[in-house]
Structures are given as C-alpha cells and as structure tokens.
C-alpha cells in the first residue's frame, strides 16, 4: 500500500467509507453467530434458537462508524500531531504530572474521611454516612490497595530485575495460609504473624529461585507458572492441614496494638465512646494496607538507589555484562525473588486477616495474570503507573457492579460484571496500542550528576528472565 | 550526472528519533552500476540514512525513490522485495539457524533455483563460512557473523546493495577480500552499491563517488578522487589513525 | 611436560597449554603465551581464530577443556582463573573486560553504568543493603565517592556532559569509550578489550590509543586487547600474539610480527604492510608531519582510481535477472564476452587504462592440452587468484612470463592487486617456472625436483 499523501477531501472520504464498510462486514462475519443467535431452553428442556438482530446491528454499525471516523480524521490528527511535535520539542513534565505522586498520596490518606463526609452530607446523617461508606472503603479502597501492593511487589521481580514471574500469587497464598494456620492453631497475633508471613514467603521465593536461576524468558515463565499451580494444588489436596477446598474460616482479625474491633466493652468503639459500627475496622484495615503498600513503595524507591537495586536493573538490561563487572547474578536474582515474595507474603497475611477466611479459590492463576497485567500496563518499574493501572483495573470491575442503570438499556437480565474479562482484554489492547511501554513509559534514573532526566522507554529492555 | 536515471534517489529526507532530528535535508543519489560511499564520524547519521531507506524509521519529510518508484511510505518487506539488500549494522544474523539456513533466508526473495550457484559464490568469497556451514549462526565468531550478514545480503541477488560497515571486526585480509569482491560484483554485474564505512580510505578507493555526512547533514559530495584530495576530508577522516 | 612459558615474575597473566573444544570443534589448541605486567599485549589473527574464546576463558565465561591460566596480582596473590567463576574473577583476580558487540546497560544512564561497575565495594559499604536501607552515613559517603570516581572516568573519556543521558543514546564511538571506562571502574589489574577500535574512524582510533596509553600510565593497568585495526595494534602494543585456527603462529614485538611471512600470509595481506612501510618511509625522511604520509597514500589511491574508474562510464540499467553474475562463474562464457572490450581481446594494449573486467592480451579460451599449469607455484598467487586468472584466460606460466605493462595493469584490475605483481616479480617467477616446466615434463618434476 503505497499511501500517497493526498489531502483531497474526496479521496479521504471515499477511503473512509470503504474502510468503514469493510470493518462493518468484518464485524458482521465475526458477531453473526456469536451475537446474532442465541439458544435458550424452554420449559420442556428444548433448545430454542432465538435471534437478536437488534444487538447485532448495534455491533456492526458501531464497528463501521468507528472505523469510518478513525480513517476520516486520520489526516487531520496526523497534521495536528506534526504541529504538536514541532512545538513541543523538549516538553517539560507539567507541574501536575510532577506533583502527581504527592497529590495522589494526600488523596489516599484522606479518602475514607472524604467518603464519609460526602456520604453524610448526601444522606443527611453522620451515622448513615458511616454505614454507607463501608462499601466504598472496603470494595474500592482496600481491594484496590491490596492489588497495588501486590503489583508493586511483583514489580521488583518483573519490572526491576526483568524476571518474568507468572506464579506470583503463590507467595500471596503462602502469606495468607501462614497467617490463617498459625493464627487458628497457635493463636499468634496479627502483628507477630505479619513479619513471619513475609519471611515464609521470602523463603519460598528463594526455594523457587534456585531451580529457575538458569532459565530465561519463556522457560522461566513456564516454571514459575507451574510453581504457582503446585502451591495451589497442595493447598487443595493437603486436606489434613489446609482443609482443602473448604478453606480455613474463623481467622482472627487484626487488632490495633491489642485493641480488638469487637462490639464488646473492650472493643475499639466502646473504648473511644463511639457508637458501634463495623466501619471502624474497615477504616483501620484501609490505613493498614495503605501503610503496607507505602512501605513497599518506600523500600522499592530506597532499594533502587542501593547497589542491589541498580544491580537488578542492570541484570534486566544485560546479564552477561553484569557478570563481567563482578556482580554475583545468582544472589542478585535470589534477592529479587525473595524481596518480591516477601511483599506478596505481607499482602497475603493482610488478606487473610481482612477476609477471615482463605481458600485455594482466591489464589488461581488468573490472579497472577491480573497482577502481572498491572505491572505491564503501568509501565515496568514505574510505581505511579502501576498504581494507576491497579486502580483502573480493580476499580473498573468494582464499578461495573454499580452500573445498575445499564439494566434499563439492555434488559433486566444484563449483568455487567460478566463483561469484566472482555473489558479487561479490550483495555489491555487499547493501552498497549496507545502506549506500548505502559502508562509511565519512562524510567527515572537512580542517580544523576547534573540533572535528573527521565529515560525514554525505548532504551530500556524488558529483560529476558 | 544524469540524476534522473538514478537507481536510488533520496531527496530532502528528514528523519527523527522521537523528537530528535537525526537527518536533516539529506539529498543523495546512486546511479545504476555505481559504488557510492557515505563517510562521516560516528553518530553522524550514516546508519540512520541506511535504515531510513528501509523505512525503519520512516522519513518524516522528503522522498526516497528507487528505480522511479516512491518507496518513502512503502512497508519494509515490500522495499526488500524490490531487491534492495542490506547487511545491517550489528550483523543481525539469525542466531539459531545454521549458516546454510541463514543463506537460504537471504535467498528467499529469489526462487531457490539459483541457490547452489549463489551460495557457491558466497563460499568462494568467504571460505570460512563453508567450513562452518552446519554451525548455528550464533556460535560463529563476530567476524564470521559479519561475513554471514554480507553473504546473506548477496544471496538475494540485489539490484542495490546497502552495506553498513562491512569491514567492522574483520581481519585486514578479509576486508581486502570483501572490497575486492564488491568491486568485482560491481564490475561484472553492474551491481549498485551504497556503502557506509569508517575506513574512509578503503571506501573512497573503492567507490566512484562519495558523500560526507556531519551531524545528519550532507556537507560535501563529489567523486572519490576529489574527496580524497580535499584537505578538509583528509584532516577529518583520513588522518589521525596513522600517527 | 614442561610448560613452554618460563615462570616469569613480571607476567601478570600466564596462559599455559590452553585448549578449548566445543563438541568436535577445536577452538583453541594448546595455546601458550604470557602478558607482562604493565604492558599492552595484543592478540590478533583471522576471524574465527579463537581470540574471543581465549578472552572468554580468561574471564571465566567458558571453562577451558584443558590448560592453566595463572593471574598474578600486584600483591603477589596468584589465581587460577580456570577454576573461578566469572564474577569472582572480576571481583578477586581483578580482571575486567569489554565486549565485541558493546554490552552497555542501554536503559541506564551513563553515570549509572559506571555505578553498577562499583557494585561490590558499594555493596560492602551499604552493609549488604541493610545499613543503606536504614540510611547509615557510611553508605551515603561511599555513594558520593562512587559518583566522584565515575566523574573522574567520565572526564577521561570526555563524556561528562552526557552523564545523565541513557547509554543507549550515545553514538557508537562514545559507547565504546564508556564500556572501557565502566570496566576501569572495577579497578582491574588486567583489562581485556575485545576489538575496542571496531567501527571507529581513524581519528577516533587515534583517540583510543591515547586513552589506552593514558590508562596504563596513570593506573598501571596491564592491557590485553584483541584488535583488527593495525593502527592501534602496531602503535601501542608492546607485544603481539598471533593466532590462527586456535594455535599460535607468531609471538613477539609488533615489528617482528608484522614482518613475519606467516602473519602476512594468514592475516595482514600486503596492503597494510604497504601502509606501514609508507609511514615508516615518511618517518625516516624526517617528515614528522603526518600529512606527508597521508599525501603519499592518497596520491597513490588517486592514481589507482584514475586507472580503475575511467570517467563517464556508460551506465545502463541491467535487468535484475542477469544482474548478479557470480565472479565464480565457471570458465569464461559467451555471455560474458560482450562486456569485455573487444580491443583488449584482440591484443591491442589498453592505452588509456580503460580496462574493464577484461582479459590480458594473451588470454586463451582454454588451457593448452586441456591442462593448466599450477599457477599457485608462483609466490603471491593463491587458489583464489589462480581461479580468477583462469577465468580470465590465463592458464600457463609462459602467459604470465609474456605479460607487458598494460597486461599487468589489466590483471591487477581484476585481481584488485595494487602493484603487487611487480613487487613480487610474478613475471620473473613465471619465466623461471615456465623454463622448468619446459625442461622437464610434469610427471618427472614431482619425483625429480627433490
């Protein structure tokens, strides 16, 4: 296709029309059977073929119009891009972008209070606001922060050291089960078990690290994936200890330095003279996971300026050169696995304390894949990018549950959550096409002589395991 | 010279890496049957020009015309099908394929009936490759990989051969062989060669014409003899190494 | 068996009976040499001779099949490199290296590249990360020192201004320098450079020479280098070791090596010798100004261009299908004939020097009696040239013996030999050989010549 740079409107229109028609035809072919027809069971258990021409039309028209618009505006956008390029030769990151981490941190710290205030104003009573905020603090706040922490932990292994780990959820599971078992059997407290869970997970990280040291790329990914599955299958089948698929329930909750969040007279609410509510525990958990996530971020930032962090990044860039500089790549890789696993373990024990129940169901491969997707979408190595990716991905799926109004459009049996994976996939494709290096495609150097310049992602390597 | 008959004509090409301009307003041409060389310091943009011909990166402005056809926006693989072959910078052989397979890949644009004949030519040029015929590309030494990259480019029976520093990492004797071979191919078959070289002496001796590139701009052009005789060129590219 | 290499206290590296086999392939075969402390030792040889393999054995990337590699540090400690793993060799034996295909951390900044090289001392001062993580001042000071050291080397290689740019963004020559600086940041006693001048132009390789001499003078580091650029090898090295097919074929000072016929035949060829000679002549004549030598060289090159590139050569587009005609095409074919000027075939000497891929005046369509003479007996003619000559209708000694000046120019044009025929006296040799072969019939010659 020798694209001639004709800017005549006629030819562009003709081309756009043609491309639009092609896209429509393609969509028709693709969705004809999948969307156009549907089988339903009637009362006599017979399959009945129904058709949904309306929905199919929407799909086909959507594809055609989208393609038409994209093609039609392509020259226009190219022109604008050119102008923008010419103007913004060396663009400084905007003030907003530079202070984004600080603003984000402030928002995160104030989030529960803001939610309560807004909802109280909306409902007209403080108590009502508190109760209503439960959902937002728990489903959105805590849920997202757990994934942020997990993704930051995995980022050490994948983003910094460049070791592709598809079995990260195994360490999450180790942390969760360590807490669940030790707490139910020996009654250890959360604050004792939190570090222990981290240490156990780190140990497992080293155990996984040893056999895979020599592997690279795809081979490493396969073995780590297998490791994740092995841990999950052990949890399912070692019923004497783990109770198999039933899981472990009745796990002790975390306490605020010994003060339990129970309704009794020694509970948190009673001590402070507040009315009884489950919200306090959720808010406490929110700040707990926020603290843990920030710990992960702080350690990551500090480590990047340590020799070990630089060695990780160097390892991602070129392992052979690392060895030629006297860096022991064995221990370097193992510390990366162990550090990443440790944060997974912390997150796991938090998860167990929050849920009060753990079962192998929570540690399937899909979780590993989602966490990895966050790291990749966020931009390898970038904490802010990864946090945004986690917020969008987890927050997005939670948001889907809230979209009740869609039922008015698509009918009462429309359940938006079911489209979660579809949207996930779409979002990932869009982000990767639009920003192939993730949201934050540039890398911040760990040291500088004159000025700190961001390094464009085109120079960094993804690592080969 | 008859610029209109040029086999390759690059007009006013500008290329960018991100926002950094690597080439500005480059205009060069190569007539059929000519050996043209591009000399200049490291980082001047010589390899970028080579790659721009192949559309990696694309020229942002200007035109690249091969045999009367505008190839500026043409997809890279279609450019290669016009029989423009390249021995790229950094060798880029297929490391897990054997020497034989690498050569087959080079010949894949041609029907394979010439394969034996052409591979014989390559092996005559680089007897070393024949010794290593069933070895994987990645296990060859650096210089042998360079030989393979050139050999692979020749297998395509190119009309235009782009050589990016063919002498890189090769022993003096082999460099001589390669230069002899380029000369012979050019003479016997009228192959047009576009050569980028650090070895300015060797390149200018071999070429009919030359261009000098500084910071992405062509600052000088002329017959090899003129360039060799030019005091500025001498000062910048020929002296220094022979103290 | 007693080692060939004498135990020598001044040697920093002794390579004894080194062999390396990959499956059936023998990359290095019983190699012995030593590198002196504080000296620059060059390792040269044809491509695939095993030079990089030697480096990989020294730096621990390969475990040699056989042999001993002894490194003696300044403080007298001896290390057997073949028993150590790669990173330990750098850390304890203080050997650093660069790579043929530059291996920088392209996504890290120039400064970071130099900091990674100081990993081990920084690791210690950061208390294996733990003290550093807690913000102990020892690490902060060590980090500042490391940056100062990096700055020192950046100034040396003239890259201070680009310290905060990604290493992958540097031009090729700068990347080569940075790789050397990075290796130097490990404070090596032996620096192994794998083709440091590859891809550099004349000026840059002259700068490289200065840098390497500077490094040696200031730090006392011994240097072992692989290089094909003779302007580097011959000028800065104290000692040259030549490898071919994994064995040593020559060993000595640059002067002895470059005049060693084995080295010339296997590696240098003639042209470089010529260059060196020219430079020497210029030096002897007291012309310390290099331009004189360059003048000589370029004048010669110009002369050649005039001869081989007649101006206004008529050019036409040749259909692709007939384009690549291999120079190896067997026997001068009818297809080829029209391309050659008929005049030279007819025997008219080419006055203006317009000689295409043409034959000499006395070319034959095929050898007399169907059997060509073994032209390789003439010193300077190898199998490749013999084939070329045959293709151009030269099969017999007497043909070469009868060459005139124009013929010599014609033959040199297709052999791409510059003045070599006269220098090696092919005609004289051929005359002798022609007489010999006439005197005795061929079968007897093999038996009776000895």
CA distances (Å), origin A185, targets A188, A258, A348, C245, C369: 8, 19, 18, 70, 103
Q: How does residue A154 score in pLDDT terms, banded at 50, 70 and 90?
A: very high
pLDDT (tens digit per residue) in C189-243: 899 999 888 888 777 888 888 899 989 888 888 999 988 888 788 888 888 888 8
| Nearest-angstrom CA–CA distance, A48 and C242 | 84
Q: Are the Cβ atoms of A2 and B18 closer than 8 angstroms? A: no
Q: Is the pLDDT of residue C299 over 90?
A: no
| Nearest-angstrom CA–CA distance, C263 and C247 | 12
Q: Which residue of C has its CA nearest to B18?
A: C169
How many C-beta neighbours within 10 Å does residue B198 have?
28
To 10 degrees, the CA torsion angle through A291, A293, A295, A296? 170
A254 or B98: whose pLDDT is higher?
B98
pLDDT average, residue stretch C245-251: 84
pLDDT value for C200 = 81
pLDDT (tens digit per residue) in C100-159: 888 989 888 899 999 999 888 888 777 777 777 777 777 788 888 888 889 999 998 888
pLDDT average, residue stretch A187-191: 82
Q: How does residue A95 score in pLDDT terms, banded at 50, 70 and 90?
A: low
Residue ranges of alpha helices (H) inside C166-289 are 172-184, 202-219, 230-236, 254-258, 261-263, 271-284
pLDDT value for A147 = 92
Question: Of B7, A356, B173, A368, which is closest to residue C47 (Cα–Cα)?
Answer: B173
pLDDT average, residue stretch A15-22: 88
pLDDT (tens digit per residue) in B16-41: 877 778 888 888 988 888 899 998 87
For chain A, positions 233-252, list CB contacts with chain C under 8 A: none
Out of B16, B18, B75, the one facing A456 most closely (by C-beta) is B18
pLDDT value for A92 = 52
Q: How does residue A243 score in pLDDT terms, banded at 50, 70 and 90?
A: confident
pLDDT value for C445 = 38
Q: Computed from CA positions of residues C223, C178, C120, C68, in that sequence, does the dihedral angle turn out positive or negative?
A: negative
| A225 min Cα distance to partner chain B (Å) | 26
Using the Cβ of B34 and the Cβ atoms of chain C, whether some distance falls under 8 Å is answered with: yes
| Nearest-angstrom CA–CA distance, A271 and A280 | 12
For C93, which DSSP code?
A: I
Residues 6+ apart with CB under 8 A from B52: B10, B13, B15, B23, B58, B59, B64
Q: How does residue C2 score in pLDDT terms, banded at 50, 70 and 90?
A: very low
How many C-beta neighbours within 10 Å does residue A136 have?
18
CA-based radius of gyration for chain B? 17
* Three-class secondary structure assignment of chain A: CCCCCCCCHHHHHHHHHHHHHHHHHHHHHHHHHHCCEEEEECCCCCEEEEECHHHHHHHHHHHHHHHHHHHHHHHHHHHHHHHHHHHCCCCCCCHHHHCHHHHHHHHHHHHHHHHHHHHHHHHCCHHHHHHHHHHHHHHHHHHHHHHHHHHHHHHHHHHHCCCCCCCCHHHHHHHHHHHHHHHHHHCCCHHHHHHHHHHHHHHHHHHHHHHHCCCCHHHHHHHHHHHHHHHHHHHHHCHHHHCHHHCEECCCCCCECCECCCCCCCCHHHHHCCCCCCHHHHHHHHHHHHHHHHHHHHHHHHHHHCHHHHHHHHHHHCHHHHHHCCCCHHHHHHHHHHHHHHHHHHHHHHHHHHHCEECHHHHCHHHHHHHHHHHHHHCCCCHHHHHHHHHHHHHHHHHHHHCCCHHHHHCCCCCHHHHHHHHHHHHHHHHHHHCCCCCCCCECCCCCCCCCCCECCCCCCCCCC
For residue C235 the two structure tokens come to 């000028």
Residue ranges of alpha helices (H) inside chain B are 46-53, 76-81, 99-107, 115-125, 127-131, 142-155, 172-189, 200-206, 224-229, 231-233
| Strands B160-164 vs B192-196: parallel, antiparallel or unpaired | parallel
Q: Are C191 and C221 within 8 A, CB to CB?
A: yes
pLDDT average, residue stretch A436-454: 75
Chains in contact with C, where contact means 3 or more Cβ–Cβ distances below 8 Å, are A, B
Question: Of C139, C357, B88, C341, which is closest to residue C349 (Cα–Cα)?
Answer: C341
For tokens 């030790």, name the residue.
A182
Using the Cβ of A310 and the Cβ atoms of chain C, whether some distance falls under 8 Å is answered with: yes
Q: Are the Cβ atoms of C116 and A314 closer than 8 angstroms? A: yes
Q: Are B206 and B183 within 8 A, CB to CB?
A: yes
- A29-38, A127-136, B99-108: segment of lowest average pLDDT: A127-136
Could you tell me what percent of chain B has a pLDDT over 90? 2
Q: Is the pLDDT of residue C353 over 90?
A: no
| Nearest-angstrom CA–CA distance, A236 and A233 | 5
Q: Are the Cβ atoms of B42 and C339 closer than 8 angstroms? A: no
Q: Is the pLDDT of residue C286 over 80?
A: no
pLDDT value for A150 = 93
C400 or B8: whose pLDDT is higher?
B8
Q: Is the pLDDT of residue A254 over 60?
A: yes
Q: Are the Cβ atoms of B201 and C297 closer than 8 angstroms? A: yes
Q: Is the pLDDT of residue C180 over 90?
A: yes
pLDDT value for C315 = 36
- A196-205, A300-309, A437-446, C174-183: segment of lowest average pLDDT: A437-446
For chain B, positions 99-128, list CB contacts with chain C under 8 A: 117-118, 120-121, 124, 128
3 state SS of B20: strand
pLDDT (tens digit per residue) in C418-429: 556 766 677 777
pLDDT (tens digit per residue) in C26-78: 888 888 888 888 889 998 888 778 888 888 898 888 888 888 888 888 888 88
Using the Cβ of B70 and the Cβ atoms of chain A, whether some distance falls under 8 Å is answered with: yes
- ipTM of the complex in this document: 0.75
Q: Are the Cβ atoms of A311 and C116 closer than 8 angstroms? A: yes
Q: Number of C-alpha atoms within 13 angstroms, CB side, residue A447?
A: 26
Using the Cβ of A323 and the Cβ atoms of chain C, whether some distance falls under 8 Å is answered with: yes
Q: Are B101 and B134 within 8 A, CB to CB?
A: no
B224 or C293: whose pLDDT is higher?
B224
DSSP B62-85: EEEEETTEE-TTS-HHHHHHTTEE
pLDDT average, residue stretch B119-129: 85
| B191 min Cα distance to partner chain C (Å) | 7
Q: How does residue A86 score in pLDDT terms, banded at 50, 70 and 90?
A: low
How many C-beta neighbours within 10 Å does residue C1 have?
4
pLDDT (tens digit per residue) in A319-330: 889 989 888 888
| Nearest-angstrom CA–CA distance, B27 and B218 | 7
pLDDT (tens digit per residue) in A338-368: 999 999 999 999 998 888 888 888 888 988 9
- A451-455, C95-99, C204-208: segment of lowest average pLDDT: A451-455
Q: Are the Cβ atoms of A313 and C107 closer than 8 angstroms? A: yes
Using the Cβ of A297 and the Cβ atoms of chain C, whether some distance falls under 8 Å is answered with: no
| Nearest-angstrom CA–CA distance, A162 and B78 | 35
Q: Is the pLDDT of residue C381 over 80?
A: no
C367 or A92: whose pLDDT is higher?
C367
Q: Is the pLDDT of residue A101 over 90?
A: no
pLDDT value for A338 = 92
| A189 min Cα distance to partner chain B (Å) | 55
pLDDT value for A8 = 54
Distance spanning both ends of chain C, measured CA to CA: 36
C309 or A369: whose pLDDT is higher?
A369
| Nearest-angstrom CA–CA distance, C320 and B70 | 19
Q: Which residue of B has its CA nearest to C202?
A: B241
Environment class of residue C329 by beta-carbon count within 10 Å: exposed (0-12), middle (13-18) or buried (19+)?
middle
Q: Are the Cβ atoms of C107 and A455 closer than 8 angstroms? A: yes
List of chain A residues whose C-beta atoms are within 8 Å of the C-beta of residue B16: 85
Out of B90, B117, B241, the one facing C203 most closely (by C-beta) is B241
pLDDT value for C158 = 86
Question: Of B41, B42, B45, which is closest to residue B14 (Cα–Cα)?
Answer: B45
pLDDT value for C316 = 37
Among B21, B73, B81, the residue to mutate for chain A (most A Cβ within 10 A): B73
For chain B, positions 129-148, list CB contacts with chain C under 8 A: 132, 135, 139-144, 146-147
DSSP B120-150: HHHHHH-HHHHHTTTSBGGGS-HHHHHHHHH
Q: Are the Cβ atoms of C107 and A460 closer than 8 angstroms? A: yes
CA A105 to chain centre: 18
- C168-172, C193-197, C380-384: segment of lowest average pLDDT: C380-384
- A78-92, A214-228, C223-237: segment of lowest average pLDDT: A78-92
pLDDT value for A346 = 93
| Nearest-angstrom CA–CA distance, C287 and C292 | 7
Residue C336 phi, psi dihedral angles, 5° rounding: -80, -30
Question: Of A298, A297, A333, which is closest to residue C134 (Cα–Cα)?
Answer: A298
CA distances (Å), origin A363, targets A176, B219, C143: 10, 64, 41
Q: Is the pLDDT of residue C350 over 70?
A: no
3 state SS of B223: strand
B59: cis peptide before it, omega within 30°? no
Using the Cβ of B41 and the Cβ atoms of chain C, whether some distance falls under 8 Å is answered with: yes
Q: Are C394 and C372 within 8 A, CB to CB?
A: no
Among B47, B130, B179, B205, the residue to mutate for chain C (most C Cβ within 10 A): B205
Q: Are the Cβ atoms of B142 and C100 closer than 8 angstroms? A: yes
Q: Is the pTM of this model over 0.95?
A: no
| Nearest-angstrom CA–CA distance, B20 and B14 | 11
| A268 min Cα distance to partner chain C (Å) | 33
Q: Are C227 and C196 within 8 A, CB to CB?
A: yes
pLDDT (tens digit per residue) in C307-335: 555 444 433 333 333 333 334 333 444 34
User: What is the average pLDDT value for chain A, to the nearest integer?
Assistant: 81
Q: Are B47 and B164 within 8 A, CB to CB?
A: yes
Chains in contact with A, where contact means 3 or more Cβ–Cβ distances below 8 Å, are B, C
Q: Are C181 and C160 within 8 A, CB to CB?
A: no
Q: Are the Cβ atoms of C103 and A327 closer than 8 angstroms? A: no
For residue C239 the two structure tokens come to 């000692």
pLDDT value for C179 = 92
Q: Which residue of B has its CA nearest to A87?
A: B19
């Amino acid at each position: 296709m020798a694209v001639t740079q004709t800017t005549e409107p006629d030819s562009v229109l003709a081309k756009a029309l043609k491309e639009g028609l092609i896209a429509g035809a393609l969509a028709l072919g693709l969705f004809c059977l999948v969307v156009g027809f549907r089988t339903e069971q009637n009362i006599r258990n017979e399959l009945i073929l129904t058709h949904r021409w309306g929905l199919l039309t929407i799909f086909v028209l959507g594809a055609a119009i989208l393609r038409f618009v994209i093609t039609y505006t392509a020259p226009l956008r190219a022109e604008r891009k050119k102008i923008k390029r010419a103007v913004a030769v060396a663009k400084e990151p905007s003030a907003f972008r530079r202070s984004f981490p600080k603003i984000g941190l402030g928002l995160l710290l104030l989030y529960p209070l803001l939610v309560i205030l807004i909802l109280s104003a909306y409902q007209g009573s403080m108590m009502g606001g508190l109760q209503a905020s439960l959902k937002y603090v728990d489903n959105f706040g805590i849920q997202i922060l757990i994934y942020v922490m997990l993704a930051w932990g995995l980022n050490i292994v994948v983003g910094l050291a460049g070791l592709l780990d598809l079995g990260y959820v195994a360490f999450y599971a180790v942390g969760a089960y360590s807490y669940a078992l030790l707490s139910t059997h020996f009654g250890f407290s959360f604050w004792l078990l939190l570090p222990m869970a981290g240490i156990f997970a780190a140990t497992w990280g080293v155990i996984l690290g040893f056999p895979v040291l020599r592997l690279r790329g795809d081979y490493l990914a396969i073995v780590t994936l297998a490791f994740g599955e092995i841990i999950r299958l052990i949890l399912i089948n070692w019923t004497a200890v783990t109770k198999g698929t039933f899981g472990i329930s009745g796990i002790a909750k975390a306490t605020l330095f010994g003060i339990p969040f129970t309704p009794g007279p020694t509970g948190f609410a009673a001590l402070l003279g507040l009315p009884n509510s489950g919200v306090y525990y959720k808010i406490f958990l929110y700040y707990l996971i926020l603290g843990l996530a920030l710990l992960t971020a702080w350690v990551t930032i500090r480590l990047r300026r340590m020799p070990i962090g630089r060695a990780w990044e160097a390892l991602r860039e070129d392992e052979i050169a690392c060895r030629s500089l006297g860096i022991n790549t064995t221990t370097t890789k193992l510390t990366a696995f162990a550090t990443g696993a440790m944060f997974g373990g912390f997150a796991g024990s938090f998860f167990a304390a929050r849920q009060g129940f753990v079962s192998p169901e929570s540690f399937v491969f899909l979780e590993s894949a989602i966490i990895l997707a966050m790291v990749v979408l966020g931009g390898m190595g970038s904490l802010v990018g990864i946090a945004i990716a986690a917020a969008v991905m987890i927050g997005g799926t939670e948001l889907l549950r809230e979209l009740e109004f869609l039922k008015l459009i698509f009918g009462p049996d429309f359940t938006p959550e079911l489209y979660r994976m579809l949207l996930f996939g779409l979002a990932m494709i869009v982000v990767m096409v639009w920003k192939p290096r993730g949201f934050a495609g540039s890398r911040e150097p760990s040291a500088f002589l004159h000025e700190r310049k961001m390094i464009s992602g085109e120079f960094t390597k993804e690592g080969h395991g | 010279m008859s610029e209109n008959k040029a086999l390759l004509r690059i007009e006013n090409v500008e290329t960018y890496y991100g926002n950094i301009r690597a080439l500005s307003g480059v205009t060069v041409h190569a007539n059929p049957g000519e050996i043209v060389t591009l000399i200049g310091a490291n980082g001047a943009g010589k390899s970028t020009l080579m790659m721009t011909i192949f559309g990696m990166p694309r020229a942002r402005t200007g035109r690249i015309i091969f045999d009367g056809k505008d190839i500026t926006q043409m997809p890279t693989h279609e450019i290669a099908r016009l029989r423009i072959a390249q021995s790229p910078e950094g060798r880029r052989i297929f490391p897990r394929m054997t020497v034989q397979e690498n050569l087959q890949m080079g010949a894949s644009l041609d029907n394979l009936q010439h394969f034996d004949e052409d591979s014989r030519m390559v092996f005559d040029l680089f007897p070393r490759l024949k010794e290593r015929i069933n070895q994987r590309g990645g296990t060859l030494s650096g210089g042998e990989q360079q030989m393979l990259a050139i050999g692979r480019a020749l297998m395509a029976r190119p009309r235009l051969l782009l050589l990016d520093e063919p002498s890189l990492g090769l022993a003096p004797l082999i460099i001589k062989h390669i230069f002899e071979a380029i000369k012979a191919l050019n003479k016997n078959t009228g192959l047009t060669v576009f050569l980028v070289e650090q070895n300015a002496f060797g390149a200018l001796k071999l070429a009919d014409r030359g261009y000098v590139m500084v910071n992405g701009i062509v600052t000088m052009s002329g017959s090899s003899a003129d360039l060799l005789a030019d005091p500025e060129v001498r000062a910048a590219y020929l002296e220094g190494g022979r103290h | 068996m007693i080692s060939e290499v004498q135990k020598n206290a001044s040697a920093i590296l002794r390579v004894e009976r080194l062999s390396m086999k990959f499956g059936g392939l023998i990359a290095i075969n019983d190699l012995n040499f030593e590198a002196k402390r504080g000296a620059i030792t060059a390792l040269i040889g044809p491509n695939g001779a095993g030079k990089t393999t030697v480096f990989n054995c020294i730096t621990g990337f390969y475990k040699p099949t056989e042999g001993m590699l002894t490194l003696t540090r300044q403080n007298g400690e001896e290390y057997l490199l073949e028993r150590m793993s790669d990173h330990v060799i750098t850390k304890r034996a203080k050997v650093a290296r660069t790579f043929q295909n530059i291996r920088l951390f392209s996504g890290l900044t120039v400064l970071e590249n130099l900091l990674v090289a100081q990993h081990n001392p920084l690791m210690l001062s950061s208390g294996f990360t733990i003290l550093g993580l807690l913000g102990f001042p020892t690490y902060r000071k060590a980090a500042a020192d490391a940056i100062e050291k990096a700055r020192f080397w950046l100034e040396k290689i003239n890259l201070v201004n680009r310290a905060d740019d990604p290493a992958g963004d540097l031009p090729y020559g700068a990347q080569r320098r940075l790789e050397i600086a990075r290796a130097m940041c490990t404070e090596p006693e032996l620096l192994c450079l794998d083709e440091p001048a590859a891809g550099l132009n004349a000026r840059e390789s002259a700068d490289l020479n200065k840098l390497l001499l500077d490094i040696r003078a200031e730090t006392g580091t011994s240097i072992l280098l692989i290089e094909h650029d003779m302007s580097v090898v011959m000028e800065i090295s104290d000692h040259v070791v030549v490898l071919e097919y994994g064995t040593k074929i020559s060993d000595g000072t640059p002067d002895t090596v470059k005049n060693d016929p084995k080295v010339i035949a296997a590696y240098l060829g003639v042209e470089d010798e010529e260059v060196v000679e020219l430079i020497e002549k210029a030096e002897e004549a007291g012309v310390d100004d290099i331009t004189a030598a360059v003048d000589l060289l370029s004048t010669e090159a110009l002369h050649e261009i005039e001869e081989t590139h007649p101006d206004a050569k008529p050019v036409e587009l040749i259909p692709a299908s007939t384009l690549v005609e291999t120079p190896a095409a067997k026997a001068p074919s009818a297809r080829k004939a029209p391309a050659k000027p008929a005049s030279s075939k007819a025997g008219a000497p080419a006055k203006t020097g317009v000689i295409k891929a043409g034959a000499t005046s006395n070319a034959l369509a095929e050898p007399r009696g169907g059997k060509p003479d073994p032209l390789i007996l003439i010193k300077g003619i190898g199998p490749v040239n013999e084939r070329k000559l045959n293709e151009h209708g030269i099969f017999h000694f007497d043909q070469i013996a009868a060459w005139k000046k124009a013929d010599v120019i014609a033959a040199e044009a297709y052999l791409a030999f510059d003045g070599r025929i006269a220098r090696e006296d092919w005609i004289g040799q051929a005359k002798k050989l022609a007489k010999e072969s006439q005197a005795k019939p061929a079968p007897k010659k093999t038996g009776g010549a000895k």
